[in-house]
Structure 1
Amino acid sequence: MEFSSFIFLYCFFPLVFILYRIVSSRYRNLVLLGASVFFYTWGQPQYIILLVFSVGVNYSFGLIIETQQKKGIRNLFFIVDICINLFLLGYYKYYGDYSVKINAAVHHELLPITNVVLPLGISFYTFLSISYIVDVYRMKSKAQRNILDFALYISFFPQIISGPINKYNEIEGQITNHPINSSKTAYGIKRFIYGLGKKVILANTFGAVTDSILKNPTSEIGTGLMWIAAILYTLQIYYDFSGYSDMAIGLGKMFGFDFIENFNYPYLAKSVQDFWRRWHISLSTWFKEYLYIPLGGNRKGNLRTYLNLLIVFFVTGFWHGAGFKYIAWGLFYGVFLVLERLFLNKWLKGNKLSFINHIYTLLIIIVAWVIFRANNLHTAMKYIKIMFTPNSGSEQISSFIDIKIVTFVIVGILLSGVLQSFIKKTKLLVYDEKKIYITESLVQFVILFISIMMLISSSIKSFIYFQF
């Protein structure tokens, strides 16, 4: 069920919101859990058993790990639980693709071919489960005694499909204590509307043009058109994913939860390291806490730090999907992070012309998104070659770009952080939870109206990160 679908906007959410407000506080978590199960079942009813199994296993192992006094047995249960989570993620996310690749490589049906459908949100709720188990194992958090409250943490509908990935130690107190008030509700509505506008008005518009360009054979796409497609996709994925995160954060606020911010104007970054502090913050901090630091972080010398960075970004790419393009995308960033630690950071910090740092970072980001967007790594290499080898192509830019798209691109660039960096008040308004401004309320009404009109006149487009 899409947040931007009519069934969600006009049926599911209003009913859940009203029911949540009228029931006694002791039953509110039960309402949210029931709504979350229904939300997930609506999308993939065949996989609700898998979600229930994941909840049951992690709940049981959390209790065992906390109460077990013998270190060896405690470690064993911890390892077994992590392996179960990773096995489920690995089978459902990677087996189908890699079994075909392995059989093709050995020219023999070594592995049986099965049509495995990726369960919605499995990448995200697996990481939520691992966060819980690790926090209990490290004794940073107490094991959750109430299985219904634990099930709500794993399955809460605003975050289960595409995050944010709220680490258990950061949100455990909110599971049993998430008071609601008018200011939180108003702020939640505001963030939801902004997110809806990002997705429906901007991301979908950029995506439609990008798709129409890239559906053509690479031989027909010229250098200029390829750069336009790359820039449009760079804007599309930002507004698509940050729009989803805004909507999830807004929904959480309306039910009394404070979710982690997932984006901080990443296209304002002046280094690759800075970009990953601003992009998909909940994922990058998850990898930092549960993978990078346990590997040794930067505490074991430079060579080990470089290796750890490459491992983390290899896993980051692999987490996104089974295709080699995702691994290449992750390692592409990993290599530049290593290069920045080796020598680029000194140059970037010493450079007085900061706009050059910004151009360097944007260039890396755009090329990385080309790899990410391509159907496969081979096609990605063709796209990159077109971008950096002058070629006119047979497709005309004017066939895809008009004054409307140019206007949308200008607005998209301005709102991606440029305007906020020059007019600080615009950024403060978005994150102000206390005050309601008449002008801003009128802007929200216009955004909501335009979004609804565009939803009526076009088909629902899934969020990009739903596929992960």
Structure 2
Amino acid sequence: MTTIDSINNWFIQNFGAITTEQVKSWFVYNPDEKLLFNTGLFLGLFLVFYFVYGFLRKTFYLRLTYVILFSLFFYYKSSGIYFLLLLLSSVVDYGLSQIIYKESRDGVKKLYLVISVILNLALLGYFKYMNFLIVTYNDMFHGNFALHNVFLPVGISFYTFQSMSYIIEIYREEIKPTKNYIEYLFFVSFFPQLVAGPIVRAKDFLPQIYQKLNLTKQDVNNALFLIIGGLIKKTVISNYISVNFVDRVFDTPMTYTSFENLMASYGYAIQIYCDFSGYSDMAIGIALLLGFKLPVNFRTPYKSTSITDFWRRWHISLSTWLKDFLYISIGGNRQGSFAGYLFPSLFFFGLLLWGISNYNESIIPLIIAGSSILIFCLSFLLSSKIKQTLVTNFNLFTTMLLGGLWHGAGAQFIVWGALHGLALAVHKIFMEFFPSKKDKSPNFLWRFFSILITFHFVVFCWIFFRARDFETALQVINNIGQLTFEPELWKTIILGYKNVFGLMLFGYVWHFLPESFTNGMKSIFDKTPLLVKAIILGFVYWIVYATAVAGSQPFIYFQF
């Protein structure tokens, strides 16, 4: 017969006794133990939080305040004292938004908007790009400025973009500001999406604050399905592949074979997808349990038939933000701008200097630089509408360059953004030459090769994204370039990493399954009793705990 004592003994044997020091550690910031969705600590704290939340559902401001306090605690556990930076930023942006809304003079409104944007970008620039700017200056002008020991608050890029979109939408008169600071702070600090998105737009989120919370059975089913799927993606697939293979190869690529470098590139492609889409799924699911609907952030991106299609499926909230608040702001496909011409010009000038400076060692860098410039120029010179295409491609390239820089301070991120910008420009001219492909449904063979080419281009770009610096990325690419067909060696490597490659295969099969299969699994899940769903969720968290011996891996996008 099962008794409380037997359950307690089982718990102690499997998880250990809970001490006073452990309990204290739950509420104190530890940079090595962030409060992640895929931890038992979060599950325990969230269950307590959610139990109390149920009693506050009908008390509007008390409920908002309660969620804000938990959100600030959640952020404190991720970034320590820097949760005050979030509060400071929110106070400034809220005050400026009120001034902009009440101001009738266009010039003054624009001035306050510029002040807000500068303050937000200055904070982001200091914490994220200070050392990158110092290193760049020292290299270019032989300076000797010392690097700063700057802490990077988790998710600062996300909540900065969210705050900026709020003020810009008020300036454009697309939304009205919140009635008070509490409502604004709730919007900007909402913990499910605070540190890694999806980036929420005020016009989509704010109306939900004022609606009566009505959590249906289907909402609960959807939420649990997303959370369970997200946990499996992150913990079972992404963490294991990362710790046991991808990280090792990318840390020292030259100590591994060409085949291992190639497989690590494929591995990282599924790792980052499972990591980020897994986090997004959990964030959307947790928000849904609280009565809020967040936007879908991923739609099977590796099924994309073109690079344009890829950016409609990958990190949708970011690509939409970049289009609405950066691409359109610098002219879009209508007109050129100083910024639109400046950043591509600086990039190609720097690329050319890189090619020239390495000419004595190899002519390849110069060929790459010259070819890139030629391809970009041909992308608008071959167009029947040269002027408009030139403007569009320059603005598009600028958007992707800055999008790359948003992800990280380093040459490798800039190159990653530039490659995507160049590919988007090439795809535009391709569609102009073959307009029939835009209107007709492609046959199977065309679709298959389109997906294959797009996928491998994206994987190639991921090498720059994952590498610790530009030189390491080149080492990985150079190593893969020396690949030869050695079946016995490949067999040995595959057997040596059979668990890793098995999970990679599982991840890719899951990703490429028809949508009808996923819907079928969802339908079966919906019909299972709630108790069974809870057991499944508990079992998944047990797997999370069981695999924790490898170390709890932070979500990749936490660094952004």
Q: Identical aligned pairs, as a percentage?
A: 32
The structural deviation recorded for 1:344 is: 5.8
2:513 corresponding residue in structure 1: 419
Q: Which residue of the other structure, out of 298, 302, 308, is the alignment partner of 2:395?
A: 308
The amino acid of 1:456's aligned partner reads A
Residue 492 (structure 2) pairs with residue 398 (structure 1): yes
Query: Cα–Cα, structure 1 residues 391 and 46, in superposed 2: closer, same or farther, change >3 Å?
Result: farther
Q: Which has the larger radius of gyration?
A: 2
Q: 1:293 aligns with which of 312, 328, 332?
A: 328
SS at match of 1:294: coil
**Which of 73, 86, 91 is 2:108 aligned to?**
73
CA distance 1:428–1:122, change in 2 (3 Å): farther
Correspondence for 1:356: 449
* Matching residue's letter, 1:144: T
Superposed displacement of residue 189, structure 1: 2.2
CA contact (8 A) 1:348 1:357 kept: no
Moved more, 40-49 or 182-191: 182-191
CA contact (8 A) 1:194 1:447 kept: no
Give me the whole-angstrom Cα distance separating, in 1, the residues matched to 2:531 and 2:242: 28
- Which is further off, 293-302 or 25-34? 293-302
Alpha-carbon offset, residue 100 of structure 1:
3.0
Shift of 1:175: 2.2
8 Å CA contact 1:97, 1:322 repeated in 2 = yes
- For the 8 Å contact 1:19–1:31, the answer to whether it is kept is no
Match of 1:324 among 385, 405, 411: 411
Q: 1:444 to 1:313 in 2, by over 3 A?
A: farther
Match of 2:198, SS? coil
Report how far residue 407 of structure 1 moved: 2.8
Alignment of 1:252-271 (within 5 A): 252-271=287-306
Going from structure 1 to structure 2, the CA distance change for 1:440 and 1:52 (only over 3 Å counts) comes to closer
Aligned-partner Cα distance in 1 for 2:525–2:541: 24
Residue 55 of structure 2 is matched in structure 1 by: 22
How do 1:330-409 and structure 2 match up within 5 A?
Answer: 330-343=417-430, 346=433, 350=437, 352=443, 353=445, 354-390=447-483, 398=492, 401-409=496-504
* Paired residues of 2:238 and 2:275 also in contact (CA < 8 A): yes
Matched, 1:180 2:180: no
Q: Counterpart of 2:5?
A: none
State whether structure 2 residue 307 is matched by structure 1 residue 272: yes
Does 1:410 pair with 2:410? no
Secondary structure of 1:3 counterpart: coil
Do the aligned partners of 1:329 and 1:371 also contact (CA within 8 Å) in 2?
yes
Moved more, 358-367 or 398-407: 398-407
Which amino acid in 1 is paired with 2:53?
Answer: Y
Shift of 1:213: 4.0
Instruction: Quote how far apart the aligned CAs of 1:447 are.
Output: 6.5
Residue 448 of structure 1 deviates from its aligned partner by: 4.8
Q: Structure 2: how far apart are the matches of 1:178 and 1:87?
A: 38
* Alpha-carbon distance in structure 1 between the residues aligned to 2:454 and 2:78: 38
Distance 1:233 1:308 in 2: 30
1:152-180 C-alpha deviation (Å, 9 max, x unpaired)? 11111111100000111111101232513
Shift of 1:31: 1.1
Bigger CA drift: 138-147 or 442-451?
Answer: 442-451
Q: 1:193 to 1:313 in 2, by over 3 A?
A: same
Shift of 1:309: 0.8
The CA deviation at 1:224 is: 1.6
Question: How far has the Cα of 1:410 moved from its partner?
Answer: 2.4
- Sort the Cα spacing of 1:265 and 1:139 in 2 relative to 1 into closer, same or farther, 3 A: same
CA distance, structure 2, for counterparts of residue 429 and residue 153 of structure 1: 33
Letter in 2 for 1:127: F
Superimposed CA distance per residue, residues 2-61 of structure 1 (whole angstroms, 9 cap, x where no aligned partner): 111121112x21111111101243221111101001111122222122111100011000
Alignment partners' CA distance in 2, 1:344 and 1:384: 29
- Give the distance between the partners of 2:428 and 2:90, measured in 1 at CA: 40
Farther-moved stretch of structure 1 (276-285 vs 96-105)? 96-105
d(CA) in 1 for partners of 2:251, 2:154 = 30
2:152 aligned counterpart, secondary structure: coil
Q: 1:215 offset after TM fit, Å?
A: 5.3
Deviation of 1:378 after TM superposition, in Å, equals 1.1
The residue identity in structure 1 corresponding to 2:539 is F
- Is contact 2:249–2:260 with CA below 8 Å preserved after alignment? no
- Quote how far apart the aligned CAs of 1:113 are: 3.2
> What residue in structure 2 maps to residue 251 of structure 1?
286
Deviations 1:406-433 (CA, angstroms, capped at 9, x unpaired): 33222211111x2124xx1423654x7x
Amino acid at match of 1:420: P
Aligned length: 461
- Cα distance between partner residues in 1 of 2:199 and 2:263: 32
Contact 1:180-1:254 at 8 Å conserved across structures: no
Aligned equivalents of 2:274 and 2:435: distance in 1?
Answer: 28
Q: Distance in 2 between matches of 1:250 and 1:365?
A: 28
> For residues 414 and 43 of structure 1, do their structure 2 counterparts lie closer, same or farther at Cα, with a shift above 3 Å needed?
same
Q: Which residue of structure 1 lines up, in the alignment, with residue 528 of structure 2? A: 438
Mapped contact 1:125–1:160 kept (Cα < 8 A): yes
Q: 1: CA distance between counterparts of 2:322 and 2:146? A: 32
The letter for the 2-side match of 1:179 is L
Q: 1:233 aligns with which of 237, 248, 268?
A: 268
Aligned counterparts of 1:447 and 1:145: Cα–Cα separation in 2: 38
1:349: how far off?
A: 6.0
Q: Structure 1 regions of 5+ residues with no counterpart?
A: none
Matching residue's letter, 1:419: L
Say if 1:178 and 1:257, in contact at 8 Å, map to a contact too.
Answer: no
Is contact 2:307–2:423 with CA below 8 Å preserved after alignment?
Answer: yes
* 2:554 aligns with one of 455, 462, 468: 462
RMSD after superposition: 2.5
CA shift in 2, pair 1:81/1:212, >3 Å: closer
Is the 1:252–1:258 Cα contact (8 Å) retained in structure 2?
yes
1:281 match = 316
Q: TM-score, normalised by structure 2?
A: 0.77
